[in-house]
Amino acid sequence: MIELINSISVSLLVLIILGLALVGYFTVRKHAISAAGGDARVLHSLPGYYGYNAAMCIAVPSLLILVLWLLIQPMLVQNAVIGLIPDQMITEGSSVGLVMSDVRRVAEGLNTAVAQGALTRTEAVDLRVDQTDVRALLADVGVALGSDVQAPVLQAAQKYRALTATGAATMVVVVLAIAVLGFALAFRMTHPAFRARNTVEAGVKALLMIAASLAILTTVGIVLSMIFESRNFFQLHDWKDFFFGTSWAPNFRGNSDLAILPLLWGTLYISVIALMVAVPIGLFAAIYLSEYAGPKVRAVAKPLLEILAGIPTIVYGLFALLTVGPFLVNLFGRGENGVLGVEWMSGATSVLTAGLVMGIMLIPFVSSLSDDIINAVPQSLRDGSFGLGATHSETVRQVVLPAALPGIVGAILLAASRAIGETMIVVLGAGAIARISGNPFEAMTTITTRIVSQLTGDTDFASPETLVAFALGLTLFVLTLGLNVVALIIVRKYREQYE
């Protein structure tokens, strides 16, 4: 019996529960019909609803318990096992987490050994360090360990195995019992007057609510993790230097200058150039498409413009690095050999390169949103303007655009927040030098590129040089969140006024 229960894995358990739910659906549905004497009209709800109710009673509580169990059991097991590890081992091995991961690895190794037949079940339980070379044994079954296994670790691993196995077996029994109980309950509840339809409705509502709250909770989780890591950073690094310093010079031997201002400057400079490209072109494209273009042109041009939005940003980055950058150097650099004969630009990576390409990336974003907004301006306003003898462009300039303005401002702010958060184009196009300068031909760097470079490669998650990435990320998040909120407020406020 124990063997059978132990052989049930979590995925199999889920399948069993779902199978049970299916059986429950058909059984209870049939039971409902027979309870009504074969006349489904006597039932409060359609027979299917009784079936759904049964499936819900079987699957929902048991799966919920299963999830909770899987979350909580490792914590309880770890707490129980940790007592076996002597204190001096923990101080040597620097942290409890490291020792525990050793324990888990040995335990898994033993499981693998048993599964492959290198050990019998009893042998695995009785294994002793002084009798067997555990490391060699586990290496034979393909589990490599960093060092020789010490006695407490092996003991702890054996206890870990035992507890986990017991826990898993108990879990299977409990979860299946709950499922069966749910089945019985649903069966008993089913009589013609039972309002199964309403119960199912409540279940559907709960399901939708769970989906919505999961999305929100994830966001909250991400924000919280960023806040905690940023707090760690500010314990290691002076917040005044981070926000008000003017130099960015990370140094992995410590004592780095980690100031956000040069990065913020680069970010905003590039974003402004991008918007200077994207807003006029995008807006004019939107006006042409929504006001002037015939249906045929529109049918072709709009999807084409939206293809631009589907290009991965890394491709734009390549475009910046390989096409736009060298083109700009040819135009503004290379002294006598250049087109303009000036020596303003030395390398292909610059604020201008990244800004131009990012602007191109944002064009479809601005035009598509503005197009929708312009189309939403009521035709009656255009008629009113035409009726007074205004030309098409007068109508657009004086009636359509003012009416669409709040929406357009919102679209631009959304584009700005995308520009600020954009990464790949600036990684490839903007360069890596943090500085505050007004020259658009110089390389600069942005918050996003620095986050990438601080977190790639060999990193130590306890040093300010790495943790600064979270503080940067949090600042970026606050910035874009602020922009989005302002955009939404503007859009909402003016929409109320004009409707």
Give me the residues that bind other proteins (CB under 8 A), please: 294-295, 378, 380-391, 394, 398-399, 402-403, 497-498
Minimum distance of other proteins from residue 306's CB (angstroms) = 24
Q: 78 with 202: CB under 8 angstroms?
A: no
35-73 as b/e: b if 16+ CB within 10 A: bbeeeeeebbbebebbbbbbbbbbbbbbbebbeebeeeb
- Our CB check for other proteins shows the closer of 295 and 303 to be 295
Between residues 302 and 382, which has the closer beta carbon with respect to other proteins? 382
Phi, psi of 128 (to 5 degrees): -130, 145
CB of 416 vs other proteins, minimal distance in Å: 24
407/429 with CB nearer other proteins: 407
Nearest approach, Cβ of 381 to other proteins (angstroms)? 6
Report the nearest approach of other proteins to the CB of residue 376 (Å). 13
Decide: 361 and 270 in contact? Cβ < 8 Å: no
User: What is the DSSP code (8-state) at residue 150?
Assistant: P
What's the full length of the chain, in residues? 499
Identity of the residue, 187 or 386, whose beta carbon is nearer to other proteins in the bound complex:
386
Which of these, 404, 350, 31, lies nearest to 194 by C-alpha position?
Answer: 31
Question: Nearest distance from residue 293's CB to other proteins, in Å?
Answer: 11
Least Cβ distance, residue 380 to other proteins (angstroms):
4
Comparing CA positions, the residue from 316, 183, 318, 271 lying closest to residue 447 is: 271
Question: CA 71, 77, 83: angle at the middle one, nearest 5?
Answer: 145
How far is Cα 317 from Cα 425, in angstroms, rounded to an integer?
Answer: 4
Q: How are beta strands 257-258 and 248-249 bridged, if at all?
A: antiparallel
For other proteins, the closer CB: 95 or 398: 398
The phi and psi torsions of 223 (rounded to 5 degrees) equal: -60, -45
Q: CB of residue 70 vs other proteins: minimum separation in angstroms?
A: 57
